[in-house]
Chain A
Amino acid sequence: MGAIEYAIDNWDRLLEFALQHIGFVLLSIVIATVIGVALGVLTYQRPTAAALVIAVSATILTIPSFALFGLGITFFGIGNLGPVIGLILYSQLPIVRNTITGLQEVDPAVVESARGMGMSRWQSLWRIELPLAWPVVLTGVRVATLIVTSIFAIAAYVGASGLGREIDRGLSNLGAAWAFDVVLTATVAIVLVALVLDVLYMLIGKLTIPRGVRS
């Protein structure tokens, strides 16, 4: 198998690409989570606003990534900035939707008792509602991460880092004998990155979801 040989011979290069890939994905996800949760918090009590935000983020997700990254060059030039912004946009649907659902599903009796004991709107949200919605929010973040891990590979053609570079290099040399092995290796590496990130989320879940709300 040429691909295995290729991976063994080039493991340090591949590792570096993989780490870049993880880095940019996580950077985008952290920013996307802050924005998405904020949008969710602002809209979950207003059905029209919530429906609007969800519709807009769903529409964004239907834009082909190839086109979005290409358009990004116009504003951000070549490099990682445009793709990171693209990933943040693509992450919004699962994060916003799950934040809204999670907050709406908090038992109204719990919120009423929080307010009834004298917590302000903000205290109730921060100390009670968001922690209770957190497992659902985290699931949204996890799904978003899976989506953008694969989408980020495409951004290589506008100059982004990561494992997409390898796929890009392979695909542009498809006549050559080694090209197929390179594409295959990078693709498997992306799947592995996704798996590693998923394990990471399991750990985050274990550490951040209190025993009282774990199912």
Chain B
Amino acid sequence: MPASEADPPAMIRLEELTKYYPGSDEPAVDAVTMDIPEGEIVVLVGPSGCGKTTTLKMINRIVEPTSGRISLEGEDVTDVDPDRLRRRIGYVIQQVGLFPHRTIAQNIATVPRLLGWDKERITERVDELLELVGMDPATYGPRYPKELSGGQRQRVGVARAMAADPPVMLMDEPFGAIDPITRDRLQNEFLRLQQEIEKTIVFVTHDIDEAIKMGDRIAIFGNDHRIQQYASPEMLLSNPINEFVDAFTGTGASLKRLNLTRVRDVALSDWPTAASDSPREELQRRLAETEHSFLLLLDRQQRPLRWISERDLARSDWTHHGGLKVRAVVEPHVTLHNALDEMLTSNVGVATVVDERGAYQGVVDIDTVMTAVNAMRAETRERVRVAPWHGVTASDVADATESRA
């Protein structure tokens, strides 16, 4: 499937890539063809054993393909010296694989040392990378891998893969063995990082939710070791090409799509606010003017402090510390899914949005979410009609829609 004209140029191109492991008459990967555009995150996802890892390892030739071609930046690399090829490709394996006998700094310095950089440049680069992944170089540089937590090791694994600034990174379930909360944080950090570094990334996971969150495009592998559908997350969720993809993306597709939109992408709702040191009478007047039953108090730096109601203001022992503490505070970069989650736990039924300095920006309420969902739906329908993406044509979509009707 060659890229359509609107797509960015392919950084990696796989053509009819097939792998039979010795002694097996069933392919581990069957005729995989795909273009991986420059600067995007492409996620390979699918059930266990469908060939994701094998595909990834054929790109840096840890596994030699049985047949097919691989090109990198337009150059056919199917037969070049694998050691040299690998120094151009960052690689994060699932089990991280840090060198236990080397310090964190030495681990990160691996590829620069292989490339013969001078000492000073290496030290500088190591410090820079540690800071990039949010770890203090003076504290963590001299430590050994066993002296770090699992999440910290994952970050070092990513930093090590980026050391020589390779244009391409291959990541095999890099956030696999981590608790959900840390994983969520690492994913967010990584997405933020990717905005800066704009690498071409091939990312393997078996978790469709992670795929939807991380991927600019997603390739879903089936049990037949072939790609079933290669498309944007929106397309997969709204127009699964066959029953397998439909089942794999699973129920709750609408809810998952909330992962595709961030708070900064939607129009926030307003909420009546007041300075927390205003006199009681003024607060009462402000509240009476609105149809809301709570007023949001802000401090001098515009940071949300408390929710107060008419009843709070009527109390004889009223102070500015009355009312409810503001929970469910989110920043603009979180997904609507996160915001919805917070919203449901908040005592007022909205998530309060603040900027990096903590200053009030607006709120996300249920109407905000509904509007966003409707807009997404309309947008994808439009896209399908105008510009069918890889592997999906308008008639496929029509078929899929019919067969489900």
Contact = CB atoms under 8 A, between A and B. Distances in A.
A211 B160 CA distance: 20
A118 B114 contact: yes
A126 to B, nearest CB: 13
Given A116-B86, A211-B144, A132 B101 contact: yes
Interface stretch (B89-97, B198-206, B250-258, B313-321): B89-97
Interface string A98-129: 00000000010111111111111001000010
Given A212-B145, A212-B146, A118 B111 contact: yes
Question: For this complex, into which size category does the number of interface residues on chain B fall?
Answer: 20 to 34
B114 A113 contact: no
B100 interface: yes
B100 A132 contact: yes
A131 B144 CA distance: 15
A188 interface: no
B87 A113 contact: no
A128 B99 contact: yes
A113 B93 contact: yes
A115 to B, nearest CB: 7
A115 B86 CA distance: 8
A110 B86 contact: no
A117 B97 CA distance: 11
A119 B93 contact: no
Nearest to A210: B101
B83 interface: yes
A114 B91 contact: no
Q: Which of B91, B96, B99 has the most CB of A within 10 A?
A: B99
A110 B99 contact: yes
A212 B111 contact: no
Contacts of B97: 107, 109-114
Contacts of B228: none
Given A112-B97, A118-B83, A123-B114, A210 B62 contact: no
Interface in B93-114: 93-103, 110-111, 114
A213 B101 CA distance: 6
B46 to A, nearest CB: 21
A110 B97 CA distance: 4
Contacts of A131: 101
A114 B101 CA distance: 13
7 contacts: A115-B86, A118-B111, A132-B101, A210-B144, A211-B144, A212-B101, A212-B144
Interface of A: 107, 109-120, 123, 128, 131-132, 210-213
Which 4 residue pairs are nearest across A and B when measured between Cβ atoms? A212-B144, A113-B97, A109-B95, A118-B87
